[in-house]
Amino acid sequence: MQSASVVRMQVRKYGSSERVVILVHGGPGAPGYLAPVARELANSFRVLELFQRRSGSEPLTVARHVTDLDDLIKSHGTERRPAIVGHSWGAMLALAYAAVHPDSVACLALIGCGTFDTVARNHMEATRNARMDKSLRDQMKHFAREIPDSDERLRALGGLIRQVDSYDLIPAKDETEICDARGHDETWRDMLRLQDEGVYPSCFVNIRSPVIMMHGAFDPHPGRLIRDGLALQVPQLEYHEWEQCGHYPWLEKAVRDDFYSTLQAWLRRNMTSGKFTPN
C-alpha cells in the first residue's frame, strides 16, 4: 500500500490490477473507515481510497468535491474508466460526479446511500431516535460537554451512531482517521441547498453508466424509499438489499461474505474495457 497527496487530499493505493476502483468515504469529513473494503477489493482491482479535501480558506462545496474527484480520476494512470464505490455521503458524491462527468466512469456502486429529500431524511431521523436508549443519549450529551475539539467529537459521535445504524457487527477496529467537523458542516449544508434548489436528484438523469444500490434492511437510511426517488432519474438503477444488515454491510456478521462476493461480481460484470474520456 502507498500514500500520495493530491492537493489537500490524501489517496491510499492498494493492488495492481488494470481495473481501477475509487472508494469514496462518507461523513462528510470522516475518512479512513473504508480501509477494510479497500483491502478486500485489492485482491481483484487496483483501489484508490480517497480522503476527501479538508476544510480550508474557502467553504467546501459539492462542486469542489466533484472537481477533486475528477482530478483524481484523470490522474489515476490507466486508460480504463474506473468504477466508483461510495458509502453513505460518498454514494451521494459518486452520483453528483457521474451527473457532471457521465463518460468518465464505468459504473457506480452505492453502499448505504444517503438521502435526497426531506421525507427520507425524516424517516431516517425518526428510526434513529426510536432506537436510542437513555444510556446512548447520555453518552452523546457527555461528548458534547467533555470533548471540546469538534473533530474528535465528530469521530466519537460517529462511533455511537454506528451502534444505532447496525444490526450485528463483527468485532473490528474502527479505522476512521482524523475527522473534519467544519468540512462536514460546510459540505452537508451545500448538499441540502442544492436539494432545496432542485439540482439533486433531478440532474442524475444525465447518468448513463450502470448503477447499483447495496443496502441493509436495518439501515435507518430507508433504502427502498431512496431507491424509488432515484429511479425516476436513473432508470437503470439496480437494487440489492440484505436482511439482518445495517449501514455497514462489510462489518455485518450475517452478510459480510455475501456483500463482498456480490460487490466484486457486479463490478467485474460492469467494468468494461472502454477508454477513459475526460470532459
N residues, the chain = 279
Check residues 193 and 75 and name the one with the higher pLDDT: 193
**Rounded to an integer, what distance in angstroms lies between the CA atom of residue 244 and that of residue 57?**
43
What is the rounded average pLDDT of the residues 87-104?
97
Q: What is the pLDDT of residue 278?
A: 47
Is the pLDDT assigned to residue 77 strictly greater than 80?
no
Q: Work out the end-to-end distance of the chain between its first and last CA atoms, rounded to an integer number of angstroms.
A: 30
Share of the chain above pLDDT 70, in %: 94
Q: Is the peptide bond before 31 cis (omega within 30 degrees of 0)?
A: no
What is the rounded average pLDDT of the residues 240-259?
98
CA-CA distances (angstroms) from residue 20 to 26, 103, 215, 268? 20, 15, 23, 11
**Rounded to an integer, what distance in angstroms lies between the CA atom of residue 139 and that of residue 153?**
11
CA-CA distances (angstroms) from residue 111 to 51, 80, 89, 141, 273? 17, 23, 10, 30, 24
Instruction: Tell me the per-residue pLDDT of 8-47, one tens digit each, with 9 for 90 and over.
Output: 678 999 999 989 999 999 999 999 999 999 999 999 999 9
Is 211 in contact with 110 (CB distance < 8 Å)?
A: yes
Cell numbers found for residue 238: 439496480
Q: What is the pLDDT of residue 94?
A: 98
Q: What is the pLDDT of residue 75?
A: 85
Q: What is the pLDDT of residue 91?
A: 98
Is the pLDDT assigned to residue 249 strictly greater than 50?
yes
Phi/psi of residue 86, nearest 5 degrees: -120, 145
Q: What is the pTM (predicted TM-score) of this model?
A: 0.94
Band of residue 5 on the pLDDT scale cut at 50, 70, 90: very low
User: How crowded is residue 242: how many other Cβ atoms within 10 Å of its Cβ?
Assistant: 22
Is the pLDDT assigned to residue 67 strictly greater than 70?
yes
- Mean per-residue pLDDT over the chain, rounded: 93
Is the pLDDT assigned to residue 1 strictly greater than 50?
no
